[in-house]
Structure 1
Amino acid sequence: MDGLTTAKADLTVYVHPSKSNKLADAVRKQLSSLLFTYDELFDGVLLSHKISFQSNHAKILHGLIPYFGVKVRAKLLIFSPKPNMLLEGKVVKLSKESIHVIVLGFTSAAIMSEDIREEFKYKIKHGAGCFASSSHKWHRIKVGSMVQFAVKSVDEEIGHISGSLIPPQTGCVHWLLKHSADAVSQTNRSLKRCRD
C-alpha cells in the first residue's frame, strides 16, 4: 500500500523537570501524544515510533518553568497519503451513492458514485447492497470487503480521504489478487511454450 513511509529523525523532546527520574517514560509519553494525528513536521500522521537516546546530557531551557531538552534518535512510521496513491481499506458502509471505507483502522475515506467506474452497478443481493461488476461476474464490493482505491484528495485537518474506483487497478482486493495471479500464471505458461 502506498502512503506508508519509515523515517529516521533526530529530535529534541522537551520534558518537565518533575519527570526527570523517569526520563524514558516521559519521552515516550510526549511522542505518543502525537500518534494518530496529522503533524506538519512529519507531513503526515505518526503511526508508531521507536526511540534511542543519543547522550546522557540534556540542555536546560531558562524561563518560568525550566524544561530540559533531551536529544533522541527515532524510527518513525508515517502515513502520508497523496493524490493518485493507491490505498487499501475495509468497507464499513455502502449505499447507491457512496462507499465508506476505513483505512488502517483510524482514517475514513469516501468514494462517491461519480468516482465509481461504470462497470460497477449497485444491486441488492440476499438483503444487502453491493456493487457488482458487469464485466467480471465475481468482482463484487460489499460491506466487509477490502478495497483498493486511488486517492483523489486528502483533508489533513479532519483526516478524511476522498477516493476513486475509476482506475483499472482498483476494486475488491481479493478479486484483484486472484485476477493478477491468473494473469501472471498465463504469462508464465505462454513463455514456457515459447521456450519449448
Structure 2
Amino acid sequence: MKNQTHFKQIVTRLVLKLSPCFISEPRKGVEEYLKKLLMRYVPEFDGIVISYTNIQFLQKNAEILFDSPYFSVKVGVIFNLFSPKKNLEIVGKVNKVSADHIGLLLYGVINASIPSDKIRKKNFKWDENSFAWKETFGERRKICNGCVMRFTIVDVLKANDMLTVIGSLLEKPNDTGIIKEGEDEPEPMEMDIDEVKTNTTAPPKNNKIVWDDNDDDEEEEAEEEEEDDSNNNDSDATEESDDNED
C-alpha cells in the first residue's frame, strides 16, 4: 500500500479587519482571529485547520476605509490542515456501534461513520447478544467501543464549519477491517439511594464545620439561656438560705 496522507500544508495571504482595541498590539488581534479557525472546516482551504505558524505582516501601515472603526491588515500564514480524500484508507477508533452503523473518531476529534450497507456481510454479522459486529470466521473478533479499524473513505460531508467522514469496508477488503480489538465498556454502577442514606459517617475530629451564621447565633443564644438558668438557680438557692437563717 502506497504512502497516504490526509494532511496538507498551505501558505496563504489574509486581509483581516481588526478591532481598534488591537491598534497597539496588531499581532495579538491576528492571533485572536486565527484561534477561532482551529478545529473548524474552512471551505476556502478545503480542510480543517489543525494549527498555524509563521505569521507575517505584509504591509507596514494598516488601512482604515471610510467611516469604519476597524482597521485592515494583510498577513501571510502557514496553515496545517486535515483534508481527507476519497478512495483512500484511514484509521479510526470506534466510539459507538449499532445495527445501523459504526461510529468512529479520527485522531480523537473528527467524526466518521460506516453505514451498515457499507459493512462486509460475509465477514461481519450483527450480534444482538453482545451488541457488536462480530467476525463470522477466524478469531471471531468484535467491533465494539475502543476497537481500532482501517476503512476506505467514500464521502466527506461538509456543513456548518464541521466535517464528517463516511467510510466503507466493501472496498479493498484485504486492506480494511479490524486492526486492534477493543474492550467493552464496563456497565455503569447503580447507586442504592437507601444505602447511601444509611451509610452516612460523622466528620473527622478536629474539623470545625460551620453551616451558616444562624447556627452560630442559635448556639450563642442557647449558651446565654444556659447561663441565665444557672444564674437564676444560684439566686434561688441564695434566697432559700436567707429564709432559713431568718
Q: What's 1:72 paired with?
A: 75
1:52 and 1:58 map into 2 onto residues whose CA distance is 16
For residues 135 and 74 of structure 1, the distance between their equivalents in structure 2, rounded to whole angstroms, comes to: 52
Q: Kindly, what percent of the aligned residue pairs are identical?
A: 27
Pick the aligned partner of 1:121 from 121, 125, 141: 125
1:4-83 map, 5 Å: 4-54=7-57, 57-83=60-86
TM-score normalised by structure 2 residue count: 0.62
What are the residue-to-residue correspondences of 1:122-137 with 2, within 5 Å? Answer: 122-123=126-127, 128-137=130-139
How does the TM-score come out when normalised to structure 1?
A: 0.76
Q: 1:164 to 1:60 in 2, by over 3 A?
A: same
Q: Per residue, is there more strand in 1 or in 2?
A: 1
Structure with the larger RCO, 1 or 2 (CA within 8 Å, 6+ apart): 1
Larger Rg, first or second structure (1 or 2): 2
Instruction: Name the SS of the counterpart of 2:22 in structure 1.
Output: helix
Unaligned runs of 5+ in 2: 182-246
For this pair of structures, how many residues does the alignment match?
A: 173
* Bigger shift: residues 54-63 or 79-88: 54-63
SS of residue in 2 equivalent to 1:60: coil
CA deviation vs aligned residue, 1:175-195 (integer Å, no higher than 9, x gap): 7xxxxxxxxxxxxxxxxxxxx
Report the CA distance shift for 1:14/1:51 in structure 2 as closer, same or farther (over 3 A). Answer: farther
Superposed CA RMSD in Å reads 2.4
* Residue 171 (structure 1) aligns with: 177
> Distance in 1 between the 2:78 and 2:178 partners?
33
Per-residue CA deviation, residues 68-107 of structure 1 (Å, 9 max, x unaligned), is 3333332211122232122222211112221111223333
Q: Which residue of 1 aligns with 2:143?
A: 141
Cα distance, 1:23–1:59 mapped onto 2, change above 3 Å:
closer
